[in-house]
Chain A
Amino acid sequence: MSDAPPKEKLVMEHLVSLTYEEELTPILERYVDALIDGRIVGHKCPQCGRVYVPGKGYCPLCVVPTGEKDEVEVADTGTVTGFTIITPVAYYGQKETEPFVYASVLLDGANSNLGGQDIVGIPHDQVRSGLRVKAVWKPKEKRSAEGVSNRGWGGVGSAIDAFEPSGEPDMERAKFEEHVF
């Protein structure tokens, strides 16, 4: 046992800010141009036929290149494959205060999910897998490239605010089960 005086706890704040700046890849530029124009485009793999939204420049399963020649348009309607209701917690930069839906939407014609989509126009306790939805577009003059970056694979947030029920009957689980995480 030591008689040494208790040591003061020293805390040093070390705030780090890193700046990244780059241009959108050519594929994402085309993707954003289409979004602003009210269209959602992706790439269709010439080998397996799967459609990725946005296009990646290759098919990750076949590992073959894809390009402008493989560009296809997909619908702005789709199916909620999975979702969660997020209750916001406070953290530096948090903008949300009310619970919101965080859903994966499989657009008609696409094989890849759109993640992180809000579903509006329906009580949260009625949101379900299989729900048929359609995009709620921003007015054309409000659409932009904002938030689309080469980090991750795009998103539709710069042109589409959320998805809302389309009124169609639910999609049978067997038809979208493969896309549920």
Chain B
Amino acid sequence: MAGTSDIAIVGFAQTKSVRAAADGEVQLLVPTVAEALERANLDRREVGFTCAGSCDYLTGGPFAFVQNLEAAGAWPPISESHVEMDGAWALYEAWVRLQHGDIDTALVFGSGKSSPSKPHEVWAQQLDPYFLAPLGVDPVTLAGLQARMLLDAGKATELDFAEVAARSRRAAQDNPNAQVSGDFDVDALLKEPYVRAPLRRHDLPPISDGAVAVVLARGDKARQLAERPAWIRGIDHRIEVHQPGMRDLTTSSSTTLAARKAGYDGGPIDVAELSATFSPQEVILREALGLPAGTNVNPSGGALAANPVMATGLIRIVEVAQRIADGDVNRGLAHATGGQVLQHNMVCVMEGE
């Protein structure tokens, strides 16, 4: 979607992803939201619009998303919204809201505790209830089918998958918020047994609990609140057909289109944070985006190092914004995904001034 390009990220914070947080989801969000607002030098009462992304099915708490709002402080009453999606889409909604021009700040957060639930039970409910959900088709199986198609098409090898995993987790050693990190030898990884052939354990994301918060501001307000705002030059999202059997799982046409609409059509870019939750998906996304070989992909470690579902995509945006704010890069791209095996994809292009 074309819109104004004077909306920027001026504050952010995230929790360290862990396998199982002792605290409840709201308790994770309270300090995270407070830290993001503090970084943005913004009092919560000045925020024009609040939007959150989360999924009650992860913790099994009906209306958990309503409680999550307590982290933003909803008294006196605030203008807010929620998406049952990754926080990246909450950011998108806030970005759209800011287009109206009557408010100039927004608070966005994404959170999720996957630890209490079994992914193969919960995620199967996302699929159509007639043919796929009753089969109990779980995300690892779907990703395995996708990986198999990639191998059969000659587009990648199992070594490629292992190299994505090893590189990601090596990079994650420099990320204090990452959950899984370390120096792994690719040959040793390839000797491990399959979990769901052709996927091995290292090809899978960890199960994570985590939260992330972002503050957006427009124009001069952004310049006032942050020394080096990360300007959103373009943001777009596209969705493909729901039935995985009706798509080419070895490509991601929605990612290509979203990127183009967001202003990225391949070529050099300082950094790309991609929500590849399974290692083969990084191969697919690199091609879909047209990233040149040698692009700095997922210096944070990406989703293979930490996967707090409903926060993962927004964290990719934050990882790019952080590098712009620190002056390490000038232009970056973040990718978020929803649905199964890259059904729904968002690309956000950010720049320093």
Contacts and interface: CB of A to CB of B under 8 A. Distances in A.
Given A25-B24, A65-B30, A16 B60 contact: no
Contact of A19 (B33, B57, B75, B117): B117
Given A25-B22, A63-B44, A151 B61 contact: yes
A58 B30 contact: yes
Contacts of B61: 150-152
A62 B73 CA distance: 7
A1 interface: no
A63 B71 contact: yes
A65 B44 CA distance: 15
Contacts of B182: none
A27 B31 CA distance: 16
B199 interface: no
B35 to A, nearest CB: 12
A42 interface: no
A20 B30 CA distance: 23
Given A25-B22, A63-B44, A151-B60, A20 B117 contact: yes
A26 B70 contact: no
Contacts of A21: 116
Contacts of A22: 20, 59, 113, 115-116
Interface in A50-98: 56-58, 60-63, 65
A150 B24 contact: yes
A17 B31 CA distance: 34
Given A25-B27, A58-B30, A150-B59, A18 B117 contact: yes
A14 interface: yes
A20 B27 contact: no
Q: How large is the interface on B (under 10, 10 to 19, 20 to 34, 35 or more residues)?
A: 35 or more
Interface string B10-30: 000000000010111011001
A12 interface: yes
A12 B131 CA distance: 11
B57 A58 contact: no
B133 interface: yes
B134 interface: yes
A64 to B, nearest CB: 9
Interface in B128-160: 129-130, 133-134
B74 to A, nearest CB: 8
Interface of A is mostly: loop
Interface in B60-91: 60-62, 64, 70-75
Contact of B121 (A18, A23, A25): A18
A19 B121 contact: yes
Contacts of B121: 17-19
Contact of A57 (B24, B33, B113): B24
A27 B75 CA distance: 24
B30 A57 contact: yes
B96 interface: no
Nearest to B116: A22
Contacts of B23: 25-26, 57
Interface in A1-44: 12, 14, 16-23, 25-27
A25 B22 CA distance: 5
Nearest to B73: A63
Interface string A113-144: 00000000000000000000000000000000
A56 B70 CA distance: 10
Query: Interface centre among A18, A23, A65, by most B CB within 10 Å?
Result: A18
Nearest to B133: A14
A2 B4 CA distance: 54
Contacts of B226: none
B125 A20 contact: no
B128 to A, nearest CB: 11
A151 B75 CA distance: 22
13 contacts: A14-B129, A16-B133, A17-B121, A18-B57, A20-B59, A20-B116, A57-B26, A57-B27, A63-B44, A63-B70, A63-B71, A63-B73, A65-B31
Closest 6 CB pairs of A and B: A20-B60, A22-B116, A63-B73, A60-B70, A57-B27, A20-B116
Interface of B: 20, 22-24, 26-27, 30-31, 33-34, 44, 57, 59-62, 64, 70-75, 113, 115-118, 121-122, 125, 129-130, 133-134
Given A18-B117, A20-B59, A22-B113, 4 more contacts: A18-B122, A61-B73, A63-B33, A65-B30
